[in-house]
């Protein structure tokens, strides 16, 4: 083993800019995918707890199918498989606006939506049934009960498992490099290719991910204390990464 | 839509890609099965070390777990792709690199499962074992771990599902698993929608069957 360290490759030339670009793309991709995942997760998670099987069933199919297939397969599916089937105008718009980025957002968002859904379902199911009955007896409709009582309480209960899922989403955004999204891992590979300094490039990427994860975990711990409901503990599922 | 492409390439996708029988040294199962067994052995050591009373044993274990859980698997695979051949002093087949990466990465997650399993064993068991005069190591081996293992089984099955899905990422360093097999066929046939949907169904069948089994095991443990 005689490896020469040249840490200055990380800030000489274009490499610093590449890392920054990668970080911004990772954040951009993750934030959009997170919004999609949370929307899908709340909707399908709430539907899975309703009494009507016609609503429960499609939500269940969505969750079980999407979370049991590797994210990489979804990346390929949304990037290679779906665009040719879309209408011509939409295809053209996508190819002009970075089809790989949008395929990445979709793959990541839909996959993690299924996983968020399980977290939210567990949160809703941990709410005592009396809350639901009390809300209905005040004259709220079922939809209003979910919108104004059940979902807001559930969201306050699931902060710890939701944080876990958010970090999973952030880390999984690295899979988008396989379809050519120039996110952080992609950029570290590029630095490695251009400078042949793999150790330094990988170390830089790794440290950025670690710092991001620790920062989000810290922030969310603060949020958790803020929104915690006294006397109630979240019983959300945290299994399956 | 032309699902004939699946029929034409069925043997390559399933036998080569999924089971690893064929010209390439590949296969999803050939990677996932040894990885979970070896990862569990390493994970047990780290999980036990996490609970050690001396900080110089528990702290390195904690750092190991937090480090690997804070970094994307893709990044870890690239690290090992670079570092394993350097340490070995020669280039190694993708299989060895992928297996090393998965064992070490999964061990961090498995260690947390082992730790939770150990902590789920009733306190009275530990006290009773100590009272009969067992040393700490004997108590761990004969009393705590066997009971912890039973409590861990559902979480272990769930983690195996995660691992099975994660092995698809070995294809990025060229390992011919199910995902790579689909890519190879797609390069020739250009039928991405059909091919990726098909392998999605294959992954789904395995994962779903195992997750049903895990919840069955969980309900059985709950009854005892």
Using one digit for the tens of pLDDT, what is the confidence trace for A38-91? 999 999 999 999 989 999 999 999 999 999 999 999 999 999 999 988 999 999
Q: Is residue A28 part of a domain?
A: yes
Q: Which of A47, A56, A10 is nearest to A146 (CA)?
A: A47
- The ranges assigned to domains in chain B are 4-223
Q: Is residue A165 part of a domain?
A: yes
Q: Which of A142, A158, A144 is nearest to A236 (CA)?
A: A158
Contact flag A171-B199 (C-beta cutoff 8 Å):
no
**Could you tell me if A130 lies within 8 Å of chain B, comparing CB atoms?**
no
Contact flag B192-A72 (C-beta cutoff 8 Å):
no
Q: Which of A62, A68, A187 to mutate to test the interface with B (most CBs of B within 10 A)?
A: A68
Q: In total, how many domains does chain A have?
A: 1
Query: Which tokens is B40 given?
Result: 């569990």
Q: Which of B68, B69, B70 to mutate to test the interface with A (most CBs of A within 10 A)?
A: B70
Nearest CA in chain B to A210: B70
B contacts of A85 (beta carbons < 8 Å): 193
Alpha carbons A127 and A129: distance in angstroms, whole number: 6
Q: What share of chain A is helix, strand, coil (3-state, %, to 5)?
A: 80, 0, 20
Alpha carbons B135 and A225: distance in angstroms, whole number: 41
Q: Is residue A8 part of a domain?
A: no
Q: Which of B18, B73, B77, B78 to mutate to test the interface with A (most CBs of A within 10 A)?
A: B78
- pLDDT-based confidence at residue B36 (cuts at 50, 70, 90): very high
Query: Any idea what the CATH number is for the domain that residue A58 is in?
Result: 1.10.3720.10
pLDDT at B12 over 80: yes
pLDDT at A232: 63
Among A231-235, B172-176, B218-222, where is mean pLDDT lowest?
A231-235
**Could you tell me if A210 lies within 8 Å of chain B, comparing CB atoms?**
yes
Work out whether the CA dihedral A7, A203, A112, A147 comes out positive or negative.
negative
Q: How many residues does chain B have?
A: 224
**Could you tell me if A199 lies within 8 Å of chain B, comparing CB atoms?**
yes
- Reported as half-sphere exposure (CB side, CA atoms, 13 A), residue B164 has a value of 27
The domain B4-223 having CATH identifier 3.40.50.300: the answer here is no
Q: Is residue A126 part of a domain?
A: yes
A contacts of B67 (beta carbons < 8 Å): 210
CA distance B110 to chain A (A): 11
Q: Is residue A136 part of a domain?
A: yes
Q: How many residues does chain A have?
A: 241
**Could you tell me if B3 lies within 8 Å of chain A, comparing CB atoms?**
no
Mean pLDDT of B24-50: 93
Contact flag B211-A65 (C-beta cutoff 8 Å):
no
Contact flag B74-A175 (C-beta cutoff 8 Å):
yes
CA distance B191 to chain A (A): 8
- For the entire predicted model, the pTM comes to 0.90
Q: Is residue A236 part of a domain?
A: no
- pLDDT-based confidence at residue A233 (cuts at 50, 70, 90): low
Nearest CA in chain A to B187: A80
pLDDT at B3: 84
Which residues lie closer than 8 Å to B153 by C-beta, 6 or more apart? B217, B221
- pLDDT-based confidence at residue B222 (cuts at 50, 70, 90): low
Using one digit for the tens of pLDDT, what is the confidence trace for A33-46? 999 999 999 999 99
Alpha carbons A193 and A26: distance in angstroms, whole number: 20
pLDDT at B87: 87
Alpha carbons A234 and A129: distance in angstroms, whole number: 15
Q: Which of B78, B87, B195 sits opposite A202 (nearest CB)?
A: B78
Using one digit for the tens of pLDDT, what is the confidence trace for B89-147? 888 899 999 999 999 999 999 999 999 999 988 888 989 998 999 998 899 889 999 99
Alpha carbons B217 and A37: distance in angstroms, whole number: 30
Contact flag A68-B179 (C-beta cutoff 8 Å):
no
Residue A53 belongs to domain spanning: 24-227
pLDDT at A1: 60
Which residues lie closer than 8 Å to A129 by C-beta, 6 or more apart? none
Crossing angle of the two packed helices A159-172 and A198-227, in degrees rounded to 10: 160
Q: Which of B71, B172, B179 sits opposite A206 (nearest CB)?
A: B71
Using one digit for the tens of pLDDT, what is the confidence trace for A117-154? 999 999 999 998 899 999 999 999 999 999 999 999 99
B contacts of A167 (beta carbons < 8 Å): 70
Alpha carbons B87 and B80: distance in angstroms, whole number: 10
């Amino acid at each position: 083993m005689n490896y020469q360290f040249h840490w200055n490759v990380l800030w000489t030339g274009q490499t610093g800019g590449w890392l920054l670009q990668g970080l911004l793309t990772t954040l951009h991709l993750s934030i959009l995918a997170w919004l999609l995942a949370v929307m899908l997760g709340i909707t399908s998670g709430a539907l899975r707890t309703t009494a009507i099987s016609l609503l429960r069933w499609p939500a269940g199919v969505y969750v079980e199918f999407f979370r049991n297939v590797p994210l990489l397969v979804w990346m390929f599916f949304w990037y290679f498989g779906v665009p040719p089937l879309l209408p011509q105008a939409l295809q053209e718009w996508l190819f002009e606006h970075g089809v790989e980025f949008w395929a990445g957002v979709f793959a990541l968002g839909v996959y993690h939506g299924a996983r968020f859904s399980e977290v939210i379902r567990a949160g809703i199911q941990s709410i005592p049934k009396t809350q639901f009955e009390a809300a209905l007896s005040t004259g709220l409709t079922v939809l209003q009960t979910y919108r104004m009582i059940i979902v807001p309480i559930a969201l306050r209960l699931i902060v710890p498992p939701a944080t876990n899922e958010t970090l999973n989403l952030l880390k999984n955004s690295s899979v988008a490099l396989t379809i050519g999204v120039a996110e952080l891992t992609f950029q570290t590979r590029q630095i490695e290719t251009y400078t042949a300094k793999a150790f330094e490039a990988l170390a830089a990427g790794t440290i950025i991910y670690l710092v991001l994860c620790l920062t989000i975990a810290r922030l969310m711990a603060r949020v958790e204390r803020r929104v915690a409901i006294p006397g109630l503990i979240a019983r959300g599922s945290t299994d399956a990464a | 839509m032309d699902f004939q492409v699946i029929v034409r390439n069925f043997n390559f996708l399933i036998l080569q890609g999924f089971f690893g029988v064929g010209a390439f040294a590949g296969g999803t199962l050939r990677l996932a099965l040894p990885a979970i067994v070896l990862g569990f052995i390493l994970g047990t050591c780290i999980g036990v070390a996490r609970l050690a009373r001396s900080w110089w044993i528990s702290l390195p274990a904690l750092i190991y777990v937090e480090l690997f859980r804070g970094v994307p698997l893709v990044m870890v695979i690239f690290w090992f792709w670079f570092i394993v051949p350097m340490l070995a002093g020669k280039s190694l087949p993708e299989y060895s690199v992928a297996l090393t990466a998965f064992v070490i990465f999964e061990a961090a997650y498995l260690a947390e499962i082992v730790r939770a399993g150990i902590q789920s064993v009733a306190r009275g068991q530990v006290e009773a074992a100590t009272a009969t005069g067992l040393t700490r190591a004997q108590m761990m081996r004969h009393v705590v771990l066997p009971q912890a293992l039973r409590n861990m089984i559902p979480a272990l099955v769930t983690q195996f599902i995660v691992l099975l899905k994660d092995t698809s990422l070995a294809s990025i360093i060229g390992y011919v698993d199910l995902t790579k097999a689909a890519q190879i066929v797609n390069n020739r046939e250009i039928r991405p929608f059909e091919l990726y949907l098909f392998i999605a169904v294959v992954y789904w069948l395995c994962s779903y069957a195992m997750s049903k089994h895990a919840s069955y095991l969980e309900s059985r443990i709950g009854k005892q």
